[in-house]
Amino acid sequence: MSENSPQSQSRKTVRDFLEMKSRGEPITVLTCYDVLFARLLAEEGVDMILVGDSLGQVALGYDSTLPVTLEEMLHHTRAVRRGAPDTFTVVDLPFLSYQVSNEDALRNAGRALKETGAHAVKLEGGRKESCDRVRTLVRAGIPVMGHLGFEPQSVNALGGFRVQGRSEEEAERMKRQSLALEEAGCFSVVLELVPGTLAGEISRVLRIPTIGIGAGVECDGQVLVLPDVLGLNPDFSPRFLKKYGRLAEAARAGIRGYVKDVKARQYPGDEHTFGEEG
């Protein structure tokens, strides 16, 4: 725990995030998929943890988020909650867990909160169907985070990994959809791979916080994928990513040292070996 970290952090609420936006205090969000990193995020005072379906690529080795199942999301979210029980946690609803019907969305979002202890869910899109899902969940008392711009679950329809909202038509559509999500009851909305000027316009119009990833500094908060932030995937270096660590290099060094010592019979040493007594 760093010197500036709170010894204990009371969990923030939806109201707290709205108040942070109103007073201009940036909201810090990081993704997380396991208990050890969740504990570190809590100790360092991250405002919100997102258990993203990005775990499909980062933790499970899938080519996209599309194969991720609800059971996988619940499994990882339970681990995160054990590591950070006092941090506001959002769980991604994976592909086809909410798109089919309002009933499916309610059933699966309810499971996500009931079986993991998470505090909110996130779903992608701002079309009428997505807003209908949001209304259904909010009426049932389930806080919802929206997601606009590049929508990973629609990667095939969007033509791959690319910035959204550069044309006037796309920008106007995104503005309308952001307002529609707010009206439907979202407490915040992620803006992913959106031009900074457009993200700033949306952030100024909405009463709810915007959380940017590749969307510039004018968003009300920022989110990044934790393994990317820590440099665990050195081959992934998109323009929007700033790496705050070089853990891949440190891990390789540790693994090399272990292999070398075992091969040379330098580990375990006497200090690592139990005697007949004591």
Domain residue ranges in the chain: 14-246
pLDDT at residue 136, rounded to an integer: 98
Going from the C-alpha of 178 to that of each of 143, 185, 197, 223, the distances in angstroms are 16, 11, 15, 18
The pLDDT mean for the chain works out to: 94
Read off the tokens for 197.
């000027």
134, 121 Cβ separation under 8 angstroms:
no
Model pLDDT, residue 9: 55
User: Residue 181: is its pLDDT beyond 60?
Assistant: yes
From the list 196, 188, 189, the residue with the least C-alpha distance to 239 is: 196
Residue 278: the pLDDT is 58
Q: How many Å apart are CA 50 and CA 150, to the nearest integer?
A: 17
Q: Pick the catalytic residue from 71, 192, 271, 277.
A: 192
pLDDT digits (tens, 9 = 90+) for 35-74: 999 999 999 999 999 999 999 999 999 999 999 999 999 9
* pLDDT above 70 (res 4): no
Tell the CATH topology of 14-246.
TIM Barrel (3.20.20)
Instruction: Assess whether pLDDT exceeds 90 at residue 6.
Output: no
Question: Average pLDDT, stretch 240-251?
Answer: 96
Three-state DSSP at 29 gives strand
In this prediction, residue 277 carries a pLDDT of 77
Distance, CA of 87 to CA of 126 (rounded, Å)? 27
Q: What is the pLDDT of residue 159?
A: 63
- CA 100 to CA 83: how far, in whole Å? 33
Say what the pLDDT of residue 8 is.
Answer: 44
Q: Which of 34, 59, 17 is nearest to 228 (CA)?
A: 59
**Predicted TM-score (pTM) above 0.75:** yes
Q: How many CA atoms lie within 13 A of 52 on its CB side?
A: 27
Confidence at residue 161, expressed as pLDDT on a 0 to 100 scale: 75
Neighbours of 59 (CB within 10 A): 15
Q: What is the dihedral of CA 260, 263, 265, 269, to 10 degrees?
A: 40
Beta bridge partners of 92: 122
More confident residue, 236 or 255: 255
The conformation of residue 155, written as its DSSP 8-state character, comes to: H
pLDDT at 116 over 50: yes
Nearest one of 157, 233, 159, 238 to 193, comparing CA atoms: 238
Residue 10 pLDDT more than 90? no
- pLDDT tens-digit profile of 124-140? 999 999 999 999 999 99
* Token reading at 275: 């005697």
Distance (Å, whole) CA 73 – CA 69: 6
- Band (pLDDT 50/70/90 cuts) for residue 5 is very low
Query: What was the pLDDT predicted at 155?
Result: 77
Give the tokens for residue 200: 């700033």
206/189 Cα distance (integer angstroms) = 10
**pLDDT of 162:** 87
Confirm whether 168 is a catalytic residue. Answer: no
> What pLDDT, on a 0 to 100 scale, did the predictor assign at position 211?
98
Each residue of 196-222: pLDDT tens digit?
A: 999 999 999 999 999 999 999 999 999
- Given a contact cutoff of 8 angstroms between Cβ atoms, the answer to whether 225 and 54 are in contact is yes
